[in-house]
Amino acid sequence: MKQLPIFFGVLRYEFRMQIHRRALWFAILCFIILFVIRGPGAIFHELITNIYDIPMVPLIATWTSQVNTFLPIAVGVLLADRLWRDKRTKVDELFSTMPGSLSTRLLGKYLGSTLATLLPIFLFYSFGIGFIYYKFQNPIIIPVALATFAAIILPGILFISAFSIACPTIIWLPLYQFLFVGYWFWGNLLSPRNGIPTLSNTILTPYGGYMSTGFFGAPFSMAGATPLEGTASILLLLSITMLVMYLLWGLLRWQQARQ
Amino acid sequence: MFIDFDRFRYELRLMGKRVILTPILIMIGYLLFAILLRSLKVDPPRFLSSSLEMILPLATAIIVSMTTSQDPAIEVQLTVPRKYHQTVLGRLIIIACWTACIALLSSIVLFATKLDFIPQPITASWNAPQVFFTGLLTWLGPLFWFVGVSFCLGLLVRSRSANAAILSGIWIVEILLKDYFAVTNWLHPVFLFPTTLLPLAGPIPQTYFDLWLSSRLEIIATGLILLPIGWLLLHNPEGLLKGAGEE
């Protein structure tokens, strides 16, 4: 049986399953409420009035970086129970008797649930882009916004999603969720000036500072970053993503062989 | 009594070693990292303070959300003579008390080795026990608050992952907006980590100390108020049964 239709079937089903979770929408809504805690509309007011006093493209990149500062935490935590759930409900054994290969199911699950979790974030992101559009009234904003989303948010989300799908197969789920939150702060937001060794300010940051400044000139993300460093950051994040998914596939195959 | 000795043993076995080992492993990890920091000529007290004030409460809250909001045998639990809300409260007490024990032990070690990070009013000359017991408030507040919020939220949201995500969001917002929390009066009762983040250690002005102390007490009170609310939420068998299928 051809694997491509199975892949799209799994992707579609995982997408629908995740998008219909009320917990997903509720958790991300809570994140957004926390995001705007400084006052309802304050952050959007900043976009309309452009308090940063920067041109249009860096402003879009700045908004993208703001969204990418802490909404990925919700993605990582909410995706962590996807594979674990299959084990808990014992459907993983049932799946292994079906014609779809393990790699196809794994890839479909990974992409389907990741895209579904991204959707509410994309809607919130688009809301902010709407305010920037209102200020500049320039249609070029839409392709630029899509490009910043694809270059700044997407590689990091794919990176953390791979870990969130994979790690709970070997780490206790709540422990992984806790470690992931700690990692996000330590590896993305903690300034190296504190003296604590950190991955922040390296190209291995899913926060996307190198892409934000390197490609789009956002002034607050990573001062002095070049497009080359932005490209290196994307390639590194995607390479590690593929490696993690490959290792997960190998681990699950090994676990199946042992049964 | 919520939990007798046999019950205590069974609950421990049901929750598994992971619940017991997690706070110990966190503190060991922090200790090792602190040794690394010292070798890098970075003073570790503030870093170690973060383990008690910021890290242990979050880890405990995520464990609480995992072990108290749902039960794989919920249908059976609701039919046995022992009420389910008593079982859950017993679990909650075990988890919270165990973390508090580890935090207390760590506080004693840090205090004895002069690696503590405790504020005291500049005008007062306190003796060692006064300083030590004040130091306990740094982590008691966030621990009670996170446990209480996680307990209630888990029963309201009925999804362990969503609960963990929201707790994580609160945690990170407290860090990112620490300056905003510090200057906004109405947010002081929910400013969870001022000791580590501002930072507040050693002699500080009396006004700051009073603000710090009152916010600690308000946070502890909030956590304690949430416990009976969670207890009442546990009296909803329909909600508990629905929650089991919502993940």
Pairwise CB contact (< 8 Å): B157 & A26: yes
Mean pLDDT of chain B: 87
Residue count of chain B, please give it: 247
- In this model, does residue B244 exceed pLDDT 80? no
> Who's near A226: CB < 8 A, 6+ residues apart?
A214
Find the residue in B nearest to A191 (Cα): B176
Q: What is the mean pLDDT of residues A188-205?
A: 87
- In this model, does residue B198 exceed pLDDT 70? yes
C-alpha–C-alpha distance, residues A156 and B146, integer Å:
28
- In this model, does residue A178 exceed pLDDT 60? yes
**CA distances (Å), A99 to each of A11, A65, B139, in order?**
16, 42, 53
CA Rg, chain B, in Å? Answer: 19
Closest Cα in chain A, distance from residue B130 (Å)? 30
Closest Cα in chain B, distance from residue A110 (Å)? 17
Q: What is the mean pLDDT of residues A23-44?
A: 80
C-alpha–C-alpha distance, residues B239 and A177, integer Å:
25
Residue B56's pLDDT band, with cuts at 50, 70 and 90, is very high
pLDDT of residue A168: 94
- In this model, does residue A259 exceed pLDDT 80? no
A43-60: per-residue pLDDT in tens? 777 777 777 778 899 999
Query: Could you tell me which of B160, B161, B200 has the C-alpha nearest to residue B45?
Result: B200
Structure tokens at A43: 């952050």
A149-171: per-residue pLDDT in tens? 999 999 999 999 999 999 999 99
Give the 3-state secondary structure of residue B80. Answer: coil
Closest Cα in chain A, distance from residue B186 (Å)? 12
Mean pLDDT of chain A: 90
Percent of chain B exceeding pLDDT 70 equals 96
Q: Is B28 on the interface with A (CB under 8 A)?
A: no
Residue A1's pLDDT band, with cuts at 50, 70 and 90, is low
Question: Which of A24, A26, A32 should one mutate to test binding to chain B, selecting the residue with the greatest count of B CBs within 10 A?
Answer: A26
A56-110: per-residue pLDDT in tens? 999 999 999 989 988 999 999 999 999 888 888 888 888 878 888 899 999 999 9
Q: Is B158 on the interface with A (CB under 8 A)?
A: yes
Asked if omega into B72 is within 30° of 0 (cis), the reply is no
C-alpha–C-alpha distance, residues B224 and A2, integer Å:
58
Q: Which residues of B touch A30 (CB under 8 A)?
A: 165-166, 169
Q: Domain limits at A105?
A: 3-258
C-alpha–C-alpha distance, residues A73 and B162, integer Å:
11
Q: What is the number of domains present in chain A?
A: 1
- What is the distance of C-alpha B221 from the center of its chain? 13
C-alpha–C-alpha distance, residues B150 and B132, integer Å:
28
pLDDT of residue A41: 61
Interface confidence (ipTM) of the complex? 0.86
Rounded to 5 degrees, φ, ψ at B80 are -80, 160
Residue B204 Ramachandran class (φ > 0 left, ψ -120 to 50 alpha, else beta): beta
Least confident segment among A97-101, B143-147, B189-193: A97-101
Find the residue in B nearest to A22 (Cα): B246
B109-126: per-residue pLDDT in tens? 999 999 889 998 888 788
Q: What is the mean pLDDT of residues A11-35?
A: 91
Least confident segment among A139-153, B64-78, B201-215: B64-78
Q: What is the number of domains present in chain B?
A: 1
pLDDT of residue A193: 82
pTM of the predicted model, to two decimals?
A: 0.89
Q: What is the mean pLDDT of residues B242-246?
A: 61
- In this model, does residue B2 exceed pLDDT 80? no
Of A26, A70, A77, the CB nearest to B164: A77
Closest Cα in chain B, distance from residue A88 (Å)? 9
pLDDT of residue B243: 64
Count Cβ atoms within 10 A of the Cβ of residue A246 and give its class: 0-12 exposed, 13-18 middle, 19 or more buried.
Answer: middle
Q: What is the mean pLDDT of residues B78-89?
A: 80
Amino acid in position A103: S
- In this model, does residue B73 exceed pLDDT 90? no
Q: Cα A230–A233–A238 angle (5° rounding)?
A: 130
C-alpha–C-alpha distance, residues A127 and A144, integer Å:
15
pLDDT of residue A135: 86
Residue count of chain A, please give it: 259
Q: What is the mean pLDDT of residues A210-234?
A: 90
- In this model, does residue B61 exceed pLDDT 60? yes
C-alpha–C-alpha distance, residues A149 and A215, integer Å:
12
pLDDT of residue A155: 97
**CA distances (Å), B39 to each of A197, A242, B35, B42, B187, in order?**
12, 36, 6, 7, 38
Amino acid in position A157: I
Query: Could you tell me which of A216, A196, A95, A91 has the C-alpha nearest to residue A149?
Result: A216
pLDDT of residue A192: 84
Find the residue in B nearest to A39 (Cα): B180
Q: Which residue's entry shows tokens 């794989």?
A: B72
Q: What is the mean pLDDT of residues A1-16?
A: 90
Of A22, A34, A195, the CB nearest to B173: A34
Q: State the DSSP H helix or E strand holding residue B120, giving kind and residue range, or none if neither.
A: strand B119-121
- In this model, does residue B70 exceed pLDDT 80? no
Q: Is B95 on the interface with A (CB under 8 A)?
A: no
Question: Which of B168, B171, B179 should one mutate to test binding to chain A, selecting the residue with the greatest count of A CBs within 10 A?
Answer: B168
Which of A152-156, B42-46, B82-86, B184-188 has maximum average pLDDT? A152-156
Residue B246's pLDDT band, with cuts at 50, 70 and 90, is low
Q: Which residues of A touch B40 (CB under 8 A)?
A: 195, 197
Of B165, B177, B180, the CB nearest to A78: B165
